[in-house]
Amino acid sequence: MVENGVDRSAERPVAVEVDRVFRRFGDFVALDHVSLKIHEGEFFSLLGPSGCGKTTLLRILAGLDLADDGVVRIGGVDASAIPAHRRPVNTVFQSYALFPHMSVRDNVAFGLRMKNVPEKEIATRVEQAIEMVQIGAFVDRKPAQLSGGQKQRVALARALINRPKVLLLDEPLGALDLKLRKELQVELLALQRNVGITFIFVTHDQEEALVLSDRIAVMRAGKIEQLGEAESLYENPKNRFVSQFLGTCNLIEAEVQADEGREMRALTPFGTVYFAKRDRGPAVAPGTRCTLAIRPEKVAVASPGEAGTNKVPATIEELVYIGAETHYILKCPAGKLTAYVMNSVLGPQGLEIGNRVTAHLPSSALLVLED
């Protein structure tokens, strides 16, 4: 979506606007005045741990739950007073919620029947929908006779046949095994590009969100922690939560000591560390404390005894070989660092547990977090 550094999605019309939506169950605040805008044709993900409010937000969009306060606009229209069955949105449920007593065909046709579409048109559109998700072989089966992946496809067809303005997906791939999930992710993405419908996708799987989404809202405890494109969330996490929830991150407590032009000097348990100044992120002045973050793949593992700025002597405490990369846990006098290194040469990678190395933390890869 970013071309020449400009966010193009902002030019598209807004499909869904969530404006200070508040929802509470007893003493538990599920959504704490959440606001966001989702653009037409966007693949938008709500990502967060269970209980963060992502599913509640989805249910409020579907009209299956109502906000205590705030407004939801779908296609510019205040949807608060529109009951679920008249909203131009459809949902793919986590448990699929297929009608157990109906055949696949009748499941798919249900939405059109409810709208009293003529049977002849229903038949054509059911054929199209069935073809779109490749379930032609099972149209006369009952849901109980389908596998998880097949049920998932039926649920998709049943929702998409209504040509909703927005498709809501509540962890639709959560119940499937990893291989099938990856396959369906690819299909889902192609499908979304194909139909051009706005998808709002709820998941707790950060990798899934990164693969699928144009933009992601990371949620915690009823609030949006950070919202943005996959790359910007991963490369520029705002705080500890986002940095740890989206991938892993080495966190280093630091006391800023001096402004040295393009870099800042800070005192950390790992010694004196320089980090590049950036446009984004919180401003830090000398004398303040902050948390520095560095992604494991940006930590370089060098030969022992190398000295210089941002270089820390370390011992390999643990290593995990995972094919494309090797993950190292490096033990330094002040604590542990995780480093991911590409296995770019053929054969043994040459490092073993107990080896002495130098961990290099490039100053340009160090981020300042808000908390």
Partner 1 sequence: MAGEANPRLARTEVRFGERLTAQAELLRSSLTSGPGILWVSLFLLLPLAGIGVISFLTRGTYGEIELPFTIGNYRRIAGFGLLGFDAQYPQIILRSLLLGAGTTVVCLAASFPLAFFIAGQPERRKQLALTLLIIPFWTNLLIRTYAWQILLGPDSFLARVASTLGLAEAGRPLYPSVFAVYLGMLCAYLPFLALPLYTAVEKLDWSIAEAASDLGADKLRVFRHAILPQLVPGMIAGIILVFIPATGQFVVPDLLGGAKTVMLGNAIQQQFGPSRDWPFGSAIAFVGMAVVLVGLYLQSRSAAAREGEGLL
Residue 22 as a binder of partner 1 (CB under 8 A): the answer is no
Phi/psi of residue 185, nearest 5 degrees: -60, -45
**Burial of 8 from C-beta contacts in 10 A (0-12 / 13-18 / 19+):** exposed
Name which of 90 and 358 has its Cβ closer to partner 1.
Answer: 90
Do 311 and 283 meet the contact criterion of CB atoms below 8 Å apart?
A: no
Cα-based distances in Å from 138 to 35, 129, 149, 237: 42, 13, 12, 45
Interacting span for partner 1 (CB under 8 A) from 13-21, 68-76, 108-116, 205-213: 108-116
Residue 25 as a binder of partner 1 (CB under 8 A): the answer is no
Closest CA to 76 of 164, 12, 15: 15
Residue 100 as a binder of partner 1 (CB under 8 A): the answer is yes
Distance in Å, CB of 125 to partner 1, minimum: 14
Residue 133 as a binder of partner 1 (CB under 8 A): the answer is no
Interacting span for partner 1 (CB under 8 A) from 99-107, 120-128, 328-336, 360-368: 99-107
Single residue of 9, 56, 91, 250 touching partner 1 by CB under 8 A:
91
Single residue of 95, 128, 147, 194 touching partner 1 by CB under 8 A:
95
Distance in Å, CB of 106 to partner 1, minimum: 10
Residue 75 as a binder of partner 1 (CB under 8 A): the answer is no
Place of tokens 């089966």: 141
Beta-carbon contacts of residue 328 (< 8 Å; ≥ 6 apart): 301, 316, 318, 319, 338, 339, 340, 341, 351
Residue 101 as a binder of partner 1 (CB under 8 A): the answer is yes
3-state secondary structure 214-235: CEEEEEECCEEEEEEEHHHHHH
Residue 316 as a binder of partner 1 (CB under 8 A): the answer is no
Interacting span for partner 1 (CB under 8 A) from 97-105, 237-245, 276-284, 325-333: 97-105
Residue 93 as a binder of partner 1 (CB under 8 A): the answer is yes
Residue 111 as a binder of partner 1 (CB under 8 A): the answer is yes
Distance in Å, CB of 107 to partner 1, minimum: 9
**DSSP labels for 321-342?**
E-SSEEEEEEEETTEEEEEEEE
Distance in Å, CB of 115 to partner 1, minimum: 6
Beta-carbon contacts of residue 248 (< 8 Å; ≥ 6 apart): 295, 296, 338
Interacting span for partner 1 (CB under 8 A) from 48-56, 96-104, 195-203, 213-221: 96-104
Size of site (CB under 8 A) for partner 1: 25
Residue 86 as a binder of partner 1 (CB under 8 A): the answer is yes
Distance in Å, CB of 45 to partner 1, minimum: 20
Residue 110 as a binder of partner 1 (CB under 8 A): the answer is yes
Residue 163 as a binder of partner 1 (CB under 8 A): the answer is no
Q: How many residues does the chain have?
A: 371
How many C-beta neighbours within 10 Å does residue 312 have? 21
Between CA 90 and CA 302 the distance in angstroms is 53
Angle between helices 148-160 and 119-132 (to 10 degrees): 130
Cα-based distances in Å from 57 to 18, 35, 71, 324: 9, 11, 12, 38
Cα-based distances in Å from 12 to 18, 42, 210: 16, 9, 21
Distance in Å, CB of 54 to partner 1, minimum: 17
Between CA 339 and CA 330 the distance in angstroms is 7
Interacting span for partner 1 (CB under 8 A) from 79-87, 129-137, 250-258, 284-292: 79-87
Single residue of 39, 151, 153, 158 touching partner 1 by CB under 8 A:
158
By CB under 8 A, what part of segment 41-70 binds partner 1? 62-64
Name which of 102 and 319 has its Cβ closer to partner 1.
Answer: 102
Residue 135 as a binder of partner 1 (CB under 8 A): the answer is no
Which residue ranges make up the site for partner 1 (CB under 8 A)? Answer: 62-64, 83-86, 89-91, 93, 95, 97-101, 110-111, 114-115, 142, 158-159, 162
